[in-house]
Structure 1
């Protein structure tokens, strides 16, 4: 795949759904329909691979190795290995995930944490574009994902959804993720009180310059963001629940940077 190609495929693997699409890398927009299938029960590696193959088939790119492919996954990712498994099978812990997908799909891929790629989508094409200082993107869904971006540079694997609550059994995402709101049938107001605790905590620890809120619930941002009282500006992600697809695709293609002149 040539650098600076005009399009790529992004696959976003989540705790409840696997989404994919073909992305225009200049505009940061989907060129195709968004394809979605449920994440298989138990989310074991082979079953997830089969589901990813299914979405690529539906997109018509399963055999097209000329188009770059990026895959986002809900885990700490280092050197292609998944080191955690918050909302998928424990089989992924310490698993050579990138090689597993490459072997199974018969092609090279770019493999990264799902919230990190969503952060890349927003810094290249969305709410964090051109923002100086520290931007913290959080995805509110099955869990709480996070991406930390300083002056446009990603600091990977921040995992701020797993901040611990003193003297409580549940971590931040167990208490304040969108899934907690659904599970406990909370009103927007009651859920916003939990989010207030969470963003107050993150704000105190990191003093960010901007919060960006992504995930599926970001389409309802007018229901809860206005209820939060923070010193840091907080805005919805421009690409909402497509940010993972767009960011995964964007990272699949190397960007040719200007090289310094050689004297």
Structure 2
């Protein structure tokens, strides 16, 4: 049975991605900063017929928490097949470039960039023991520098000095990571789940959580001939599924 770790999986897209992987027969470690909320999510999945899921308390912005989670998981398994770096924060909107506090920008980066790096580096040894390891970094179309400079892009006016640059930085890290692992069985990709109706955006998005999660799961379950070092976005590139960086 393949094993997956999803950060920020106690609700919304992360929770649905866990459910979809469970449907595919994976064992899921449900990462949650809040242990109580995470356990409630696990119990909800158990109640709907999915026993192969358990909580892993994990605050990606806390180095000690990441280390403790790695130690805890190491006592349960010596291999991890999938890591979905899903946890993220927006930092609140609007975020004008001239007035957004550096402290807000740092806070967003702590979760959206440095948290991903901390988690990836902490769990990479378990992933390296998998015959087909997959890393999915959950990004946003707002992380595309190319699209942000295109006035015809539908989201061109949606700018933010903290969130969008954090996702651009995450995209860059994804490229660097994929390059470093290029001669291995790893598939490392960034996935934009699309503008989805969740509490992250006050349910303003038109997309469904189910469709968004399916995009993550698709990248997490790529076959050996699947692509790596790609920026998947059905929302911004409906014809090809590949977004410009």
TM (norm. structure 1) is 0.34
Higher helix share: 2
Greater relative contact order: 1 or 2 (C-alpha under 8 angstroms, separation 6 or more)? 1
Which structure shows the bigger proportion of residues in strand conformation?
1
Scaled by the length of structure 2, what TM-score is found? 0.36
